[in-house]
Structure 1
Amino acid sequence: MLKKIRTLLAKLPLPLLGDTKPVVAILPLEGVIGTSGKFSEALNLAGVEKRIEAAFDVFGVKAVALAINSPGGSPVQSELIMRRIRKLSEEKEIPVYAFAEDVAASGGYMLSLAADEIYASAASIIGSIGVISAGFGFDKAIEKVGVDRRVYTAGENKSILDPFQPEKEEDVKFLKEIQKDIHGFFKDMVKERRGDKLKGTQKVMFSGKFWTGTEAEKMGLIDGVGDLQSVMKEKFGEKTKFNRIEGEKSFIKSLLGLGGRKRAISREIMAVLDERAHWGRFGL
């Protein structure tokens, strides 16, 4: 019904609509991507779905602009958000444009694949199309302290990759097989969404490396270098209005310039440190 109303309104003379100006809804997608249980204030579908829907329901909206600033995280949540945006874009026939700010890497780049066109600053960090797992081994530390590790399982692989036991070659091989599958899924999604726009070799583009916006444009990972307001005004006119769909901010993340919901301060401090590690990979 909403789609039919928009179609009808689009056909009415401008004077009857009060000489309306084009409207672009800005949807910020910021932070590490994951479930709230893993990263406090993490970006995930449950937390952002209402804002996605609100962006597409803005009266008179001509396009949705994604303002992306994310170093990545969960591939599952990245895909869920991306697919939800694509579904609404196709249902409502509203184009989507993505604009990378400081970084759109790994899962952050996957988010940008929801867009019909992707833009970035010349100095934005783009890419990191790969899969990473990281952790620590504590087996030598507990041996030095004199602590015995006692593990009882039903299922021979239940304790696989236990950080308190010596690393096993077969465990690493198993992990790499999973990473290979996820990497293949990511590569297929990039090829599906970017298609003939891709200009670089797959060996380089899908190596896990990341580039500036200028270099990413040369490889076809993005469509151009430009900022959100300038590009949108170029497409929809100088009188284009912008409606930013904001979420709430928590106390700790407000101090550190990161968005999110209110949580217990002690939990937030630990989560923000974890999140900073993700940003730190890109020098941010």
Structure 2
Amino acid sequence: MNNRKRQVIIASQKLFIKKGFQNTSIQDILDESHISKGTFYNYFASKNECLIAILAMGREQADVRKHELLIGQDPTDKDILAKQIAVLMQVNREQNLIPIFESIFHSGEPELKEVVMKFHLNELKWLTKRIVDVYGEASKPHCFDATILLFGMIQHMLHIWKLTREDALDPVQVVKYAICQLDAILPIQIANGDTFLGCDLAKYLQRNFNNKVVTKEYLLEQLEGFSEGLSEDNLQAGKEYTNCLLTSLQEEIPHYYIIEAIVLPFNSSFKGTIHAAEAQEIANHLWLYIRQQNV
């Protein structure tokens, strides 16, 4: 994604938060972004598609953070799992996406509601795998039900807290509490062989969600284009990480552990710069590529 398109997304996000999605017109976005109508439609087929791109950027940032939290850590550590689950709530708060989700809920537009549901189901899919990491292979037949129960507890605890308290709640705190309750529930499910929605949800996800495939060739093209756009003198570290990633990927058999070790400092080196969003997108694609190679 080029930087101009990202600028349009950021401008649109500000307007959607300030005026509401329904009350923001295409002309408002053109005026805020200083672009022509033709340029807008070159990037997006509709205002809905622009909103979907905003939500996708938030999910992308959350995915990168979740991967970073696990680097060098024990995948069975429940504290790490709690921090990973809380990431999405933190990103939604930081990027002020909650009013946008509320506007989607009240919009009555099936396309937007379907996109939000897909994001939610993808999060469920990710958590089922992490449940198995933490609780072991015995939890595999029950991981979908456990995931639904865990998310349900978190959602309702946050909702009731918001209704009854004025002070802010640390998302990690409520996630840890919910995981403690799952510690008591899951062993009983395993011992009794209990499943409820798990089998149906697993089949639904398999049938309706195709994982994005990231190829080495695509990554090389993206990194080469990114490298050509780096001109600032103060980005020496970022340039070196970029070149190191290019060199590693160009090998006939890439060393995935080396690439994995470089992704975090690569992404961090561009934070606070005009290249931050693109670096984050590349980092996410690298994580996907590594995960696909390790399947």
* TM beyond 0.5: no
**TM-score scaled to structure 1, two decimals?**
0.30
Answer 1 or 2: which has greater strand percent.
Answer: 1
Q: TM-score, normalised by structure 2?
A: 0.29
Whichever structure has more helix as a proportion of its residues is 2
Kindly indicate whether structure 1 or structure 2 has the higher relative contact order, using CA contacts under 8 Å at least 6 residues apart.
1
Asked which structure has the greater CA Rg, the reply is 1
